[in-house]
Amino acid sequence: MSPLPEDPTLDEVRAYLAPILPRHAAFDGWRAEAVMMAAAEGSVDREIAQLAFSAGAMDMIDAWFASIDARMIEALPPEKIATMSIRQRITALITARLKLLAHDREALRRALAVMAMPQNSARAAKLGWRAADVMWRAGGDSATDFNHYSKRLTLAAVYAATLLVFVDDESEDWADSRAFLDRRIEGVMRFERAKAKWKGVGGGERLSLSRFIGRLRYPAV
């Protein structure tokens, strides 16, 4: 973790404390107590830390997830991911995120509970979209048409579903989560192949997407 600059901005304080927060949120919840403990661990003035996370739990979770985005890219730089297929890239990117989250699964469980609250649904959706966007960009996606949105929507759904399995996964090396992820990505690949055929005979892309989202919500056993 990079040292905190002298006279830091609030954004720099948030970024500095973000990787520390989940260790304390696992015990204290995503509350002010976790901020105080993280500030003490990171030798940050408590009043400044409180000000940095004055908006509460979602600000804390937002900062943590942003740190996961950054560390995922560090783990899979462009030169490492360039030789992979698209399917391999997405699998590797999500797997890298799971590894980064693995030591903080209780904090993740608490974070998902906070995000599921009705008042937080809009911001939670933005965080899911941001994670999907970061992954697609890291994977080399440059689409600017409707595919830009459909790719992110489908990946956000796959990632969110995988996290729900991951938080309670007690299998060795998260084998159940990995298997679940593989099945969901295979579903995406089948959809893309079917979409190409439907488009070839005049099928509607928006209709195809809605069918796929429905299958994500209610996957076949």
Judgement on whether residues 69 and 30 belong to the same structural domain of the protein: no
Residue spans of alpha helices (H) in the chain = 10-17, 21-28, 32-41, 46-52, 57-75, 78-81, 86-101, 105-115, 121-138, 146-166, 175-200, 205-217
Judgement on whether residues 99 and 23 belong to the same structural domain of the protein: no
Q: Check residue 221 and give its pLDDT.
A: 41
- The secondary structure of residue 132, as a DSSP letter, is H
Judgement on whether residues 144 and 37 belong to the same structural domain of the protein: no
Q: Check residue 220 and give its pLDDT.
A: 46
Judgement on whether residues 50 and 71 belong to the same structural domain of the protein: no
Q: Check residue 203 and give its pLDDT.
A: 46
- The secondary structure of residue 172, as a DSSP letter, is G
Judgement on whether residues 49 and 59 belong to the same structural domain of the protein: no
Q: Check residue 137 and give its pLDDT.
A: 93
Judgement on whether residues 124 and 168 belong to the same structural domain of the protein: yes
Q: How many domains are there within the chain?
A: 2
Gyration radius of the chain over CA positions: 19
98-154, pLDDT tens digit by residue?
999 999 999 999 999 999 999 999 999 999 999 999 999 999 988 778 888 888 999
Judgement on whether residues 32 and 114 belong to the same structural domain of the protein: no
Q: Check residue 13 and give its pLDDT.
A: 96
Domain boundary among 38, 54, 70: 54
Judgement on whether residues 143 and 187 belong to the same structural domain of the protein: yes
Judgement on whether residues 25 and 41 belong to the same structural domain of the protein: yes
38-56, pLDDT tens digit by residue?
999 999 999 999 999 999 9
Judgement on whether residues 168 and 107 belong to the same structural domain of the protein: yes
Residues 175 and 164: their CA atoms lie apart, in Å, by 14
Q: Check residue 7 and give its pLDDT.
A: 85
Domain boundary among 33, 54, 75: 54
Judgement on whether residues 165 and 209 belong to the same structural domain of the protein: yes
150-208, pLDDT tens digit by residue?
889 999 999 999 999 999 999 999 999 999 999 999 887 776 676 666 666 544 444 44
Judgement on whether residues 149 and 192 belong to the same structural domain of the protein: yes
Structural domain span for residue 20: 1-54
